[in-house]
Structure 1
Amino acid sequence: MRLRVIDLDGSLPAQEPLRQRIEAGAATRIDARDLAGRLRIVASRTALRSLSARLPPDAAGSGPGVTFYGSGDFHHLTASLVAAQDEPLTIVHFDNHPDWVRVPATVNCGAWVNRALELPHVRKIVTLGPSSSDLVRPEWQFANLAALREGRIALYPWRHAPSRVWGRYGSNACYRQEGGHLHWRNLAEEEWSDFLDELVAQIPTRAIWLTIDKDVLGPGDAVTNWDQGAMPLAHLIAAIERLAAARHIAGVDVCGDWSEPRFTDPFRWTLARFDHPPPITPSAETLGVNARVNATLLACLDRVLP
């Protein structure tokens, strides 16, 4: 396992499980704080190119890369990390938000799923765990329901009421349409082991990429910049273990740590103001949960990755 920490917002290097690995040479820290203002919420292409130039090249014969990079405000970095791969992939996406907005067609944290689907080697994206309001009248929120209908996106909420729609989207393994509503399969009502067996069978590629936004977890398991879901940490760990046993993991990225949003332009500040829940300033003690969960994720990845 090749571990790297992209330091965009200061949320990670001081966390004990990551600090120890960085100091021991078991993880690489990439300083990118100077790029954060141009990457947060919406990425400028020049900042993306600058960040890409700072990432160390993959070593021949090395194991899967695991990247931690701070707040979920930067989740669109997943598309750039996956773009560096060269084999057919299925992305398994743990998140409280579907991140599938079609408009605007930029590299932003609410639309990165569509940027990933534009990559020729990405065959499918499976999103697990949303409970957010993104699924309330999703057409009004420019959701990529066409990709859902075509099976290129599969979405399984943790728990969500039926979504009101006007188009025709049929039915598949993750929802059924009845009149003007999409009725979702709620993971909170599924037997988890059986669901994971079904999930593995639906993945069309040998290789998978895991992207984890910790806002998929409840407030007791993470402190994030976004509204949070309710997937138990034990379910997330069990899913990683099952997927790693069944498929080749090409890479992993993890976000969802809290950091104070800092912006250098009114455009990104306005987007964050309307998208984020009311701002909080958590104590150091409260933020300790993120370090504990990151330690749990690292221990799991140490077990399951070569």
Structure 2
Amino acid sequence: MRLCVLDLDGSVAAQPPLLARVGAGIAHGVDLRDLAPRLRLAASRSAIRTVLERLERVMAGGHGPEVIFYGSGDFHHLTAAFLQRRTRPITVIHLDNHPDWVTFPATFNCGAWVNRALENAHVAKVITIGPCSDDLAWPQLKGANLAAIASGRLEVYPWRHPPSRLVPALPRPKGLPVLGRRLYWQPVGGDAWAGFVDDFSRRIPTREVWITIDKDVLAPDEAVTNWDQGEMRLAQAMALVRAVAERHAVVGVDVCGDYSPPQLGDPWRRALAFLDRSCRPPVSRPHSALNADANAQLLRLFDDVLA
């Protein structure tokens, strides 16, 4: 396992479990604070290239699965960049409270990165698990990539969600699995979770897998994030990772969702924040220790299943 800690916002670089490994030389630390204003919520392609260049300097020539911790979910679009470094067919397992599937703007941004990932021919499928958010309501009006669902390259399994209403006046992609004017989901929360995990392997069409975890998929008592949160328990997320690792080659994992105060210095990013998420008040309750504990548990899991 090749562990890398990207310091974008100060939220993970000082966490004891990660700091100790960087200090001992068994993990790589990469300072990206200078790029953070150009990466938060949305990223220019030049900023993405710079991230990949710095990552390649420390990861090139190594062997084994990559594990990357990198801070707030405001940077989740870096997952699409990490996937550019892969060359063989791969399935992306995406744990998140949001589908991150909007088709506009067609940039690297945290609400649309799934589409950037699907632009890579070697990404066979993205499987999104855990949303409870209202992003699934009226998906056509919110720019959801329903065409990817119709084609089978994107699967979405909410933790819980009623059927989504469709707008009759708007076109539907051919092959979209609908009944009348509603798109029915397969919720996986509650009693359905154990069976979903047991049967999950058959949904993965490739040998190689990349797992991306945004901790906003977790219940609020297990993580503090910059976004509204779901209801998955950390133990449930870890059970899925273990099940995938038992049957497939996990070549990479990235973890985001640590809270950091958003600093949005330009009108473009302020507009994205207004349109793409609820305006949350500043987080006042303790978050560093809670998030560090969740990351420590994930790190022990990766030590176990990716060795």
Q: TM-score scaled to structure 1, two decimals?
A: 0.94
Structure 1 runs, 4 residues or longer, greater than 4 Å off: 167-172
Distance 2:97 2:31 in 1: 28
Residue 170 of structure 1 and its aligned partner are, at CA, apart by 7.8
Q: Tell me if structure 1 keeps the 8 A contact 2:11–2:288.
A: no
5 Å-filtered alignment, 1:91-240, equals 91-165=92-166, 166=168, 167-168=171-172, 177-240=178-241
Which stretch shows the higher mean deviation, 53-62 or 2-11?
A: 53-62
Query: Paired residue for 1:279?
Result: 280
Change (3 A) 1:52 1:168: closer
Change (3 A) 1:137 1:53: same
Residue 235 of structure 1 and its aligned partner are, at CA, apart by 0.8
How many pairs were matched up? Answer: 303
Distance 2:25 2:277 in 1: 36
Query: Could you report, residue by residue, the CA deviation over 1:141-194 in whole angstroms, capped at 9, with x for unpaired residues?
Result: 01000110111000000011110013556888xxx5221011211111453332
Query: Paired residue for 1:62?
Result: 63
Give the share of equivalent positions with the same residue, in percent.
51
Distance 1:38 1:168 in 2: 35
5 Å-filtered alignment, 1:246-265, equals 246-265=247-266
Distance 1:256 1:183 in 2: 28
Q: Tell me if structure 2 keeps the 8 A contact 1:88–1:122.
A: yes
Which stretch shows the higher mean deviation, 10-19 or 262-271?
A: 262-271
5 Å-filtered alignment, 1:284-295, equals 285-295=286-296
Q: Tell me if structure 2 keeps the 8 A contact 1:7–1:70.
A: yes
Distance 1:45 1:89 in 2: 23
Name the SS for the 1:119 alignment partner.
coil
Which stretch shows the higher mean deviation, 233-242 or 280-289?
A: 280-289
Distance 2:213 2:26 in 1: 21
Query: Could you report, residue by residue, the CA deviation over 1:38-96 in whole angstroms, capped at 9, with x for unpaired residues?
Result: 11111011111221221135454611010011000100000110110111000000000
Two-structure CA RMSD over aligned residues (Å): 1.7
Q: Tell me if structure 2 keeps the 8 A contact 1:225–1:276.
A: no
Which stretch shows the higher mean deviation, 218-227 or 159-168?
A: 159-168
Name the SS for the 1:241 alignment partner.
helix
Distance 1:283 1:146 in 2: 40
Name the SS for the 1:278 alignment partner.
coil
Change (3 A) 1:171 1:300: farther
Gaps of 5+ in 1: none
Distance 1:272 1:58 in 2: 32
Q: Tell me if structure 1 keeps the 8 A contact 2:97–2:133.
A: yes
Which stretch shows the higher mean deviation, 272-281 or 28-37?
A: 272-281
5 Å-filtered alignment, 1:75-90, equals 75-90=76-91
Distance 2:129 2:191 in 1: 12
Query: Paired residue for 2:34?
Result: 34
Residue 264 of structure 1 and its aligned partner are, at CA, apart by 2.6
Query: Paired residue for 1:46?
Result: 46
Name the SS for the 1:18 alignment partner.
helix
Distance 2:118 2:229 in 1: 25
Change (3 A) 1:168 1:278: closer
Name the SS for the 1:78 alignment partner.
helix
Q: Does 1:16 align with 2:16?
A: yes
Residue 198 of structure 1 and its aligned partner are, at CA, apart by 2.0
Residue 274 of structure 1 and its aligned partner are, at CA, apart by 3.4
Distance 2:262 2:22 in 1: 25
Distance 1:150 1:298 in 2: 35
Q: Tell me if structure 1 keeps the 8 A contact 2:93–2:126.
A: yes
Q: Does 1:5 align with 2:16?
A: no
Query: Could you report, residue by residue, the CA deviation over 1:248-276 in whole angstroms, capped at 9, with x for unpaired residues?
Result: 00100000000111123111122113333
